[in-house]
Chain A
Amino acid sequence: MAEGETAMQPAAGASGTTAAAAAPPPPSPRRGPPAPGPDSNQGNLDSHLRPPEALRVIGQPLRRVDALAKVTGVTRFADDLVLPRMLHMKLLRSPHPHARVVAIDTREAEALPGVKAVITGRDLPIPYGILPVSQDEHALALDRVRFVGDPVAAVAAVDEETALAATERIRVEYELLPPVATVEEALQEDRERLHERTAYANVHKAVSLRFGDVEEALASAELVREDLFFYEGNTHLPLEQHAALALFDADARLTVWSSTQTPHYLHRALAKVLAPLPASRIRVIACPNGGGFGGKSDPFQHEIAAAKLAMLTGRPVKICLTREEVFYCHRGRHPVLMQVRTGFRKDGTITGMHFRTLLDGGAYGSYGVASTFYTGALQTVTYRVPVYWFEGARVFTNKPPCGPKRGHGTPQPRFALEVHLDKVAHQLGIDPAELRLRQLQPPHSLTANHLRVGSMGLRRCIEKVLEGSRWHERRGRLGRGRGLGLACSSYISGAGLPIYWNSMPHSGVQLKLDRSGGCTVFCGSTEIGQGSDSVLATWWRRSWGIDPFAIRVVTGDTDLTPVDLGSYSSRVTLMTGNAALEAASRARALLARAVGAHLGVPPSRLVFAEQRVFDSEEPERGVSFAEAVELAEARFGTVGTTGSYTPPPAPGRYKGAGVGPSPAYSYTACVAEVEVDEQTGIVRVPKVWIAHDIGRAINPVLAIGQVEGSVYMGLGEALMEEMEYRPHRRLVHKMPSMLEYKSPTALEMCEVVTYLVEDPDPNGPYGAKEVGQGPLLPVPPAIVNAVHDAVGVYIDEIPLHPHKVLAALKAKAEGREPRYGPARFPPVRYPAPLEVGLPEPTPAQPAGAAALAGTGGGRRP
């Protein structure tokens, strides 16, 4: 693995990198032929993946730094932690979907031997919520419960059994309220409101943003098509159940270990709810997550209640949720009803689009306002949409709250848009791939809704999957019941704006170099299984030529690490990466000065490689990396540097412009092959080809793993995963268990051919963009489009249950519209549109100018 470094020239090392990052992106970043890699890692790699000499260390398939801990079972997840004198906590949850809490009697529970404390809503009266605009949650219900599973009381006891027995002795008097079960009911004015502050009825949020004259564009279009779609809600189902451990020590400091993706946001919520305990006395440590997918991004009731009980009892308090409770926490994919109305020219190009969404948000706000905007944000970054109108609304219902799941609010509209385009292609007799290729959003451009697109490798992605699937030869010719479908997508590499308004960096990194030649990296990001610790350790190999395994990574600890907003919105590689590169380049400069002075050579002539720092003109003259640190320490004192990253300011200036901007967008194209059994309606997916424009693959093993994991999750959402509630107004989960919530097993997983396409983005570290979420998005629409290719019916809602396929086939046989899907879009009182208008035409920016102009944009060593 070291050959890349020895071959590295100093000039290439420095300017080669900058060139890759800031120069105009090469039109087709083809690299040399693949070098033989270890074992099967290379199996799926696109041949152009091999990095140029200067980047040989980035882009190496490298084992993750934490892999050995994971395969030996020594990784410590939150529930693996044990402290002396630890108490166990259990929550009492509401059995009713909607009720007023009239009285709670905890005396009998408190009297039970072994019970140390019982708390209710009155002990934690301050509301909180992840978004500043939605502070609508209480750790324990104050006066009202809003879904089956809403926590009402918490008990700390010497063991789990005692705590559980105590919860059964708590008497709660409820006054039942009529529940709001569906979006239709939520839109009615005469229903009980779940929250005081709503747009109207139980409408949590309603928005309307208009960019240009859409009605005019539709009126003058050669074809206007309108379609309705529905995307059912589903949940993250992380394999690890959420767990938290709280300790309030003798110095009156609170520490909470938790399976959280966002320790910084949890820290803020704890400080708010536990006031007057100052934030500076609260420490949140994010344990490695046993899967997150967005489901561990909110501050949760059990975390807050455990902290409170630790403070009251003076003893450590732990809770691990049961699987049933994980279903109650939810925050999963919103069910979204969508109406798409688009004008087209005869050649299939879009003249204007009107997109409407209606989200069932469940009982609380969570990330819902952002989710609502996301259902309208990214339609414009893949294909040119000259004028655009988005109307979105989210309602409250008495079900567990929805929130961010992998792709946050964008898989649903992406599904609608991609199936809609497939229908138009058929209507106009144009190949669906050709229809897309004709109107790709150009790189380095602004969209109608003021998003700045940087590098854009979608064309190449489409070409890869067409080639791989032999699209032109095979589509429509696979025989009865078999078909191919195409869909594309795009996703953000980190949200351009933080959850709460501030002008501080989104990512911070501190480095400590020590005389051993080792280095410790402190960063607030969290390892949720995606390999962020590994990516964090990898940058140093490039900057300094030291082995990533000599790097110690300390992450996700609010006491020790500088703030990073957390592992969500696919932000870690880009944002944390840029911060890390800045810290690394500063440290490199210090070391180079010290070593240069020692050797009597100008610092610019020094090379960092192979754990050494040496003169490029006389490579045998040099010092070990450890000696370099000693020299720097002797000269400058303790060696430590910092780096930070703030995304470039978003071009949009309108209210709502905060959702959608990102320093860079990843792109994905996907072809799915399906087999449809026309007797049973069962759809099988034997194979998927997927190409993802990742900007730069920092570690192909991790990247391919993220792509395959995304395909898997998209497959599950397309075919089987759904949150279902029993009707009859009880709104109990139909399936709060892993057995009944169907997810793909090893038997259902399809074959996946992955292509990583590299179109480096000027804002990404070494050009890198996200990979963790985007590849999920095109999978469901590709499958639905393939079903149409196979049997000639469109299933306009997912999951694709067999009964839906059968109903559509029946409709087709009877000469009705060959589809299954929603029939109507209920009347929603969207506000009058905010007439934002189109962005000012910008003078064609030289590519790369963005990187130079981007405030705080990634600097590179």
Chain B
Amino acid sequence: MPGEYLHLRLRVNGEQHQLACASHKTLLEVLREDLGLTGTKHGCELGECGACLVLVDGTPVLSCLALPQELQGREITTVEGLADGPRLHPLQQAFAELGAAQCGYCTPGFLLAAKALLAEQPAPSREAIRQALAGNLCRCTGYLKIFEAVELAARRMAGAATPGGQRSAATEAK
């Protein structure tokens, strides 16, 4: 029983989209249902778990609480926009290597929250990482591997001398 429809122009992962959708839809629903970007997850749809976290102009936003019509003209980044073609983002690489993703359901939200952190603080302390990720719940890992992965990615991004972060998904086998 959809009520009013909206016409939206959204920029997601560098691509411009035009769509019509019911006016009550959240950004989470539009991303998953209208744009097919199911990498963004949900655990509560009430702003409590962080699974739906995306970046808007680089700032973490809980997409289950955001209305897409207010985000027109902004740059939205989802987990699908992290890798550069087949080249994984160093955070993705580190999460995969260290086992920071177990079931992987919370992972997209953590990756994006960590990306925002590293953009602000390229070499965050463990405490800063804890603070930045405190809004994201993970029930599998106990968070420790996630902290380590963020630290590893930070080191690699700073050094860039380590080739680890730059290998492509296709050749990265071990």
Listed in ascending order, the chain A residues whose CB lies under 8 Å from chain B are 1, 38-41, 43, 62-64, 66-77, 79-80, 112-114, 159, 161-162, 165, 236-241, 288-293, 322-323, 528-531, 547, 549, 701-702, 704-705, 708-713, 737-739, 743, 745-747, 749, 751-752
Contact = CB atoms under 8 A, between A and B. Distances in A.
Enumerate the 5 nearest inter-chain pairs by beta-carbon distance, A residue then B residue, closest first: A73-B39, A529-B103, A70-B104, A290-B105, A712-B142
B48 to A, nearest CB: 4
A711 B132 CA distance: 22
Interface string B107-145: 110010000000000000000011101111111111111
Nearest to A66: B104
A68 B134 CA distance: 24
B44 A77 contact: no
B67 interface: no
Contacts of B95: 67, 70-71
A712 B88 contact: no
B154 interface: no
Q: Which of B96, B97, B140 has the most CB of A within 10 A?
A: B140
A239 B49 contact: yes
A165 B98 CA distance: 46
Given A62-B174, A71-B96, A746-B136, 5 more contacts: A73-B108, A291-B140, A322-B45, A323-B46, A749-B142
Contacts of A1: 174
B2 interface: yes
A704 B99 contact: yes
Given A71-B92, A72-B92, A239 B139 contact: yes
Contacts of A739: 44, 46, 48
A63 B134 CA distance: 26
24 contacts: A39-B97, A39-B164, A41-B97, A68-B92, A72-B80, A72-B82, A72-B83, A72-B88, A74-B39, A161-B24, A238-B139, A240-B105, A291-B102, A291-B105, A529-B140, A547-B173, A701-B98, A705-B141, A712-B141, A712-B142, A713-B142, A737-B46, A738-B44, A739-B44
B20 interface: no
Given A72-B39, A72-B82, A161-B2, A708 B137 contact: no
B51 A239 contact: yes
Contacts of B1: 112-114, 159, 161-162, 165
Most interface-central of A114, A289, A529 (chain B CB within 10 A): A529
B86 to A, nearest CB: 10
Interface string B67-95: 00000000000111011000010011101
A397 B17 CA distance: 52
A752 B38 contact: no
B88 to A, nearest CB: 7
B44 A289 contact: no
B43 A241 contact: yes
Contacts of A236: 139
Interface centre among B24, B44, B88, B152, by most A CB within 10 Å? B44
B106 interface: yes
B80 A291 contact: no
Given A238-B139, A709-B141, A288 B49 contact: no
Most chain B CB within 10 A, of A240, A531, A737, is at: A240
Interface on chain A toward B: helix, strand, loop, or mixed SS? loop
B152 to A, nearest CB: 6
Interface residues of B, number: 65
Nearest to A164: B1
A293 B174 contact: no
Interface string B148-166: 1000100000000000100
B169 interface: yes
A454 to B, nearest CB: 28
A746 B133 contact: yes
A293 B139 contact: yes
Nearest to A293: B139
Contacts of A113: 1
B53 interface: no
Contacts of B98: 39-41, 701
B55 to A, nearest CB: 14
A67 B96 contact: yes
A73 B138 contact: no
Nearest to A711: B142
Contacts of B44: 323, 737-739
A291 B103 contact: yes
B93 to A, nearest CB: 8
Given A323-B46, A739-B48, A746-B143, A240 B41 contact: yes
Contacts of A79: 42
B139 A70 contact: no
B137 A745 contact: yes
B101 interface: yes
B116 to A, nearest CB: 15
A743 B137 contact: yes
B144 A749 contact: yes
A213 to B, nearest CB: 44
Nearest to B162: A39
A710 B103 CA distance: 14
Given A549-B173, A747-B130, A531 B102 contact: yes
A529 B102 contact: yes
B63 interface: no
A62 B134 CA distance: 28
B172 to A, nearest CB: 8
Nearest to A80: B38
Specify which of B92, B102, B146 lies most central, judged by the most chain A CB atoms within 10 Å of its CB.
B102
Nearest to B95: A71
Contacts of A751: 144
Contacts of B105: 77, 238-240, 290-291, 529
B130 A75 contact: no
B134 A40 contact: no
Contact of B49 (A67, A549, A738): A738
Nearest to B156: A39
B59 to A, nearest CB: 19
B129 to A, nearest CB: 8
Interface centre among B41, B45, B83, B144 (most CB of A within 10 A): B144
Given A40-B152, A68-B169, A323-B44, A738 B79 contact: no
Contacts of B139: 236-239, 291, 293, 709, 712-713, 743
Contacts of A547: 173
Contacts of A40: 98, 148, 152
B80 A73 contact: yes
Contact of A71 (B88, B130, B136, B141): B88
A783 to B, nearest CB: 15
Contacts of A43: 148
Nearest to A157: B1
A747 B48 CA distance: 15
Interface centre among B46, B103, B133, B141, by most chain A C-beta atoms within 10 angstroms, is B103
Contacts of B106: 239, 290
Nearest to A706: B102
A24 B147 CA distance: 40
Contacts of A239: 41, 43, 49, 51, 103, 105-106, 137-140
A712 B140 CA distance: 8
A76 B38 CA distance: 8
Given A40-B98, A238-B139, A547-B173, A71 B107 contact: yes
A528 B105 CA distance: 10
Contacts of B148: 40, 43
A71 B174 contact: no
B101 A712 contact: no
A522 to B, nearest CB: 22
Contact of B143 (A112, A529, A749): A749
Given A39-B152, A40-B148, A73 B43 contact: no
